[in-house]
Amino acid sequence: MKIAVLNSGSSSLKYKLFLMPEGKEIESKLVEHIGEEGSLIVNHHDALDSLNLKYEDIDAFGHRVVHGGEVFSDATLVDERVVEVIRELIPLAPLHNGSNLEGILVVQDKTPSTPQVAVFDTAFHTTMPEEAYRYALPKEMYTKHQIRRYGFHGTSHSFVSKRAAKILNIPYDKVNLITLHLGNGASICAIENGKSIDTSMGFTPLEGLVMGSRSGDVDPAILLFMQRELGMSVSEVDTLLNKESGLIGLCAENDVRAILSSDSEDKVLAIKVMVRRIRKYIGAYMALLGHVDGIVFTGGIGENAVAIREMVMDSQLFASLEVLVIQTDEELEIANKVMKLVAKGDSHG
Ligand code: ADP
């Protein structure tokens, strides 16, 4: 069975084709600059056309969808209702769900009879208990406006935690892990008996760790100060927090390789701020879990930056933790989920 995986971002489209169940990657393509000034690729329709897919050879499509809200606790076959719900969730993830949905609709248009599956970044974290996902805000902010912590990077935390359980030879529903996805975006997850019980990203992927260009945790009063005292607009604050903060904000660079090879004061400090935040979260998650079977590093930084791993783990408290470095593969995890759902659909139909 051939499964195509699409990750439609606002200006890019990532595509991979897998032969399943072998999990063998047959093809991989990236279209960039969609809809940007001067680009020949005006929209996701053009982007998909430029991939020259042989639709008749593809048995199913899997789409990465960032926000599944409280509705989707697992991957789901796309139908009209699913399309509507993803659309309704756009306000919760304006940068992502719109373009994710665009990808689904374009494929539907090209090949209406091919099954499509949506795989949500939030789904893995729907097991969090209420005390983990509620903010200490007035109740109606949650009940009326859905303001709660959702968590993201779920596909990656799920993939590496399953691998880790296998390596440690512990049944997945018995394993306690702390998984660290450290890429340009970064999050950490506490997994108890194979279920996410807490994670550092919240209502949006902005909360938590120091990232390439995102601030992670800040005192929310700073945002009020920026607007009230510095006269910044909502969109200026949004851009500052998402695009101009994190490592970029601290040292004008977000490539950790470059930062590590420099001894400029700002760059050294940027790494210290990032590492300290990670260590605080690990300590907190150890307290929540009580017993930890392993700590997993993944993502571009987690997999490659040995120096960062050493700095993070340099604590007496962490000395007994088993450290695993596992390459994440979100596309393969999506293909696996698609295969399971499509196979199930076949057996019922
Ligand atoms: P994304 O979240 O965009 O998928 P990645 O998971 O690819 O990002 O991670 C990108 C980050 O990984 C960058 O900060 C990059 O500097 C870092 N990185 C990649 N390779 C190395 C390496 N060998 N040493 C240190 N950092 C690395």
pLDDT in tens, 113-164: 999 999 999 999 999 999 999 999 999 999 999 999 999 999 999 999 999 9
Cα–Cα distance measured from residue 177 to residue 335, given in angstroms and rounded to the nearest whole number: 24
Tell me the domain boundaries of the chain: 2-120, 170-330
The residue among 225, 214, 220 whose CA lies nearest residue 135 is 220
Task: Mark out the alpha helices in 19-112 (DSSP H runs).
Answer: 44-50, 80-88, 97-110
> Coil, strand, or helix at residue 218?
coil
Q: Which atom of ligand 1 is nearest to the CA of 260?
A: 25
Give me the residue label for tokens 């009020």: 224
304 Cα–ligand 1 center, Å: 7
Assigned token pair, 21: 């169940």
- Say how many Å lie between the CA of residue 71 and the centre of ligand 1: 32
pLDDT of 77: 96
Do 32 and 11 meet the contact criterion of CB atoms below 8 Å apart? yes
What was the pLDDT predicted at 95? 77
Which DSSP state fits 321? P
Q: Give CA–CA dist 137/130, Å, rounded.
A: 13
Residue to mutate, 30, 64, 256, 328, ligand 1, most ligand atoms under 8 Å from C-beta:
256
**Residues that are catalytic:** 121
Q: Do domains 2-120 and 170-330 have the same CATH topology?
A: yes
Ligand 1 pocket test, pick from 16, 243, 257, 309 with the greatest ligand atom count within 8 Å of Cβ, gives: 257
The answer for residues whose C-beta is within 8 angstroms of residue 304's C-beta and 6 or more apart is 257
Q: Which amino acid is located at 54 in the chain?
A: K
How much distance in Å is there from the Cα of 112 to the middle of ligand 1? 37
Number of helices (H), then strands (E), in the chain: 14, 11
Question: Residue 74's pLDDT is what?
Answer: 94
DSSP H helices in 177-329: 221-228, 234-243, 246-251, 256-260, 265-289, 299-304, 306-313
For residue 346, the model assigns a pLDDT of 62
DSSP classification of residue 112 = T
CB atoms within 10 A of CB 200: 26
DSSP string, 263-299: --HHHHHHHHHHHHHHHHHHHHHHHHHSS-SEEEEEH
Read off the pTM. 0.94
**Is 344 a pocket residue for ligand 1 (Cβ < 6 Å)?**
no
- Distance (angstroms) between ligand 1 centre and the Cα of 246 equals 14
| Residues in the chain, total | 349
**Is 42 within 8 Å of 30 (Cβ atoms)?**
no
Do 246 and 210 form a contact (C-beta atoms < 8 A)? yes
DSSP letter at 139? H
Which class is 170-330 in CATH? alpha beta
Q: Which pLDDT belongs to residue 35?
A: 87
Instruction: Assess contact for 52 and 107: CB atoms under 8 A.
Output: no
Place of tokens 């210290």: 272
Please name the residue that has the structure tokens 């760059």: 267
For the chain, percent of residues with pLDDT exceeding 90: 89
Give pLDDT < 70 ranges for the chain: 346-349
- The answer to whether 148 and 219 have CB atoms below 8 angstroms apart is no
For 243, phi and psi rounded to 5 degrees? -115, -20
Whether 299 lines ligand 1, by a CB cut-off of 6 Å, is yes
Can you give the pLDDT at residue 10?
A: 78
For the Cβ of 180 lying below 6 angstroms from any atom of ligand 1, the answer is no
Residue carrying the six token digits 């590590």: 260
| pLDDT for residue 96 | 87
Report the nearest-CA residue for atom 4 of ligand 1. 183
- The superfamily CATH assigns to domain 2-120 is ATPase, nucleotide binding domain (3.30.420.40)
Q: Which atom of ligand 1 is nearest to the CA of 258?
A: 16
